[in-house]
Amino acid sequence: MYYQSLNGESTKVNFETALKKGLADDGGLYFPENIIPLESDFIKNIENYSNIEIGLKVIKQFVGTTIKETDLIEILSKTIDFDFPLIKLEKNIYTLELFHGPTLAFKDVGARFMANCLGHFNKDNSKLNTVLVATSGDTGAAVANGFYKVKGTNVIILYPKNKVSEIQERQLTTNGNNIYALRVNGSFDDCQKMVKKAFIDKEFNEKFNLTSANSINVARWLPQSLYYFFAYKVLKKKNLVLSVPSGNFGNICAGLVAKKLGLPISHFIASTNENDTIPRFFKSQVLKPKPTIQTISNAMDVSKPSNFVRIQEMYHNFKNLSKIMSSYSFNDKQTLDTVKRVYENKNYVLDPHGAVGYLGLKKFLSSSQDRIGIFLETAHPIKFSEHIEKVIERKLDVPESINKILLSEKKYIDVNDYNDFKEKMLFLKY
């Protein structure tokens, strides 16, 4: 398996190189040269396979010969050692809970897979790697947890000031050891710009031996396709529709990869908050980002979703894409009203991102009632307790892992712009 730059100007590379480089030399995202569908018998009999066996079947072609099968099984065993419950919420509507990992968010799978792969590649290497990641909330926590004390690796997390929840910020800033948090005076898009600029800053990149752990990195993005196989393993139904809360569009892009691999999902819904670049694109066929709006579903506060170019690569034109994907946006009031209504009617607590996914699914099913739908619940509601508790009028139980960080001191470095970031990177005590 080789990866090509979507800018089309860089040399094709293998999985190890794509992982370590993050972005291609021409600034483009890496994308698999080919996606080979899995055997139909595997899909037909998927309930007979363990999650590790499914993971191996799905991921093996993307890793190629860079990792031996026995080592890849070990990596997967360290990556997906928690549950992915599928909960029936109402007739023809299910939620896939993706928050049962160590940082209570869906990004644990991608971050752990990438960290274990990089640790594998570095086991006989004395050269220090610097993982650079921008986060709108949950990515940074998952990356910090996945890479904590990983040999030969330091982690730099850029997050937007006053635009993540208190618990999310504590997950970013209370780790210590090889994890460094930089608080940026700006939006997530500003953080993401800094990361991309650092990767094309040749002198800076070479000095720190950078790799990215955002979903721009193939090792962070591709493992997310496993969720969809796990859901289908439990609910083998025709006319299955998936609604994915979408910010940087890595998760839904991984779902579309799962479909390319042969998973029989009939339609995808990209459900967004008021940052509606892609819903507007589906109406006008014009990709025109606006300034980022701060919302309560902060992990989706992205106006320039990096992974949409990968989706366009898979489907080539609007006609093909619109057959398989729809996109809708919802505001904070709609989100909180939904949290309240679902709690009162179903005694189920949604987080704001899952609520947006639920709304997108309901909107699509209103005109396609013969379908069965799954929406992704991407983070534990406790991360957004200040909003959730007000509308459901009760206190949420606090997981033990969260209790621990509430007692820890936050440590971060304030950053204003790219030049300030570069200067402060030079003085970090590695």
* CATH number of the domain that residue 278 is part of: 3.40.50.1100
Residue 13 lies in a domain: no
With CA atoms as reference, report the closest residue to 43 among 229, 297, 247, 290.
229
β-strand pairing of 3-5 with 30-32: antiparallel
Say how many C-beta atoms besides its own lie within 10 A of residue 190's C-beta.
19
The terminus-to-terminus CA distance of the chain in angstroms comes to: 35
Model pTM score: 0.90
Given a contact cutoff of 8 angstroms between Cβ atoms, the answer to whether 305 and 277 are in contact is yes
Say how many C-beta atoms besides its own lie within 10 A of residue 123's C-beta.
10
Say how many C-beta atoms besides its own lie within 10 A of residue 48's C-beta.
9
Phi, psi dihedrals of residue 397, rounded to the nearest 5°? -70, 135
Residues 336, 354: Cα–Cα separation, whole Å: 11
Residue 384 lies in a domain: yes
Is 323 an active-site residue? no
Residues 234, 237: Cα–Cα separation, whole Å: 9
Q: Please report which helix (H) or strand (E) contains residue 15, including its range.
A: helix 15-21
Residue 145 lies in a domain: no
Given a contact cutoff of 8 angstroms between Cβ atoms, the answer to whether 190 and 159 are in contact is no
Residues 335, 341: Cα–Cα separation, whole Å: 10
Looking at residue 401, its pLDDT comes to 84
- Residue 111 exposure: Cα atoms within 13 Å on the Cβ side: 28
Q: What is the CA radius of gyration of the chain?
A: 20
Residue 239 lies in a domain: yes
Residues 300, 243: Cα–Cα separation, whole Å: 14
Kindly name the residue from 20, 57, 107, 233 that is annotated as catalytic.
107
Residue 420 lies in a domain: no
Residues 119, 115: Cα–Cα separation, whole Å: 6
Give the 3-state secondary structure of 32-71.
Answer: ECCCCCCCHHHHHCHHHCCHHHHHHHHHHHHHCCCCCHHH
Residues 405, 242: Cα–Cα separation, whole Å: 34
With CA atoms as reference, report the closest residue to 58 among 25, 86, 80.
80
Instruction: Give the DSSP letter string of 295-335.
Output: -SSGGG--SS-TTHHHHHHHH-SHHHHHHHEEEEE--HHHH
What separation in angstroms does the CA of 162 have from each of 184, 188, 192, 310, 409?
A: 9, 11, 16, 30, 17
pLDDT tens-digit profile, the chain (430 residues):
899 999 988 899 999 999 998 889 888 999 999 999 999 999 999 999 999 999 999 999 999 999 999 999 999 999 999 999 999 999 999 999 999 999 999 999 999 999 999 889 888 777 788 999 999 878 888 989 988 988 788 999 999 999 998 999 999 999 989 999 999 999 988 998 999 899 888 888 888 888 888 788 999 999 999 999 999 999 998 899 999 999 999 999 999 999 999 999 999 999 999 999 999 999 999 999 999 999 999 989 999 999 999 999 999 899 999 999 999 999 999 999 999 999 999 999 999 999 999 999 999 999 877 899 999 999 999 999 999 999 999 999 999 888 888 888 999 999 999 999 999 988 775 5
Q: Name the residue with tokens 């794509």.
A: 18
Residue 246 lies in a domain: yes
What b/e sequence results for 330-361 when a residue is b if at least 16 CB atoms lie within 10 Å of its CB, and e otherwise? bebeebbebbbebbeeeebbbbbbbbbbbbbb
Looking at residue 429, its pLDDT comes to 59
Residue 38 lies in a domain: no
- Which residues form the domain of 382? 83-101+221-392
Residue type, 128: L
With CA atoms as reference, report the closest residue to 223 among 213, 233, 235.
213
Residue type, 154: N
Residues 177, 397: Cα–Cα separation, whole Å: 29
Q: Please report which helix (H) or strand (E) contains residue 95, including its range.
A: strand 93-97
Residue 273 lies in a domain: yes
DSSP structure class, residue 254: H
Provide the domain count of the chain. 1
Given a contact cutoff of 8 angstroms between Cβ atoms, the answer to whether 172 and 137 are in contact is no
Phi, psi dihedrals of residue 64, rounded to the nearest 5°? 65, -135
Residues 261, 258: Cα–Cα separation, whole Å: 5
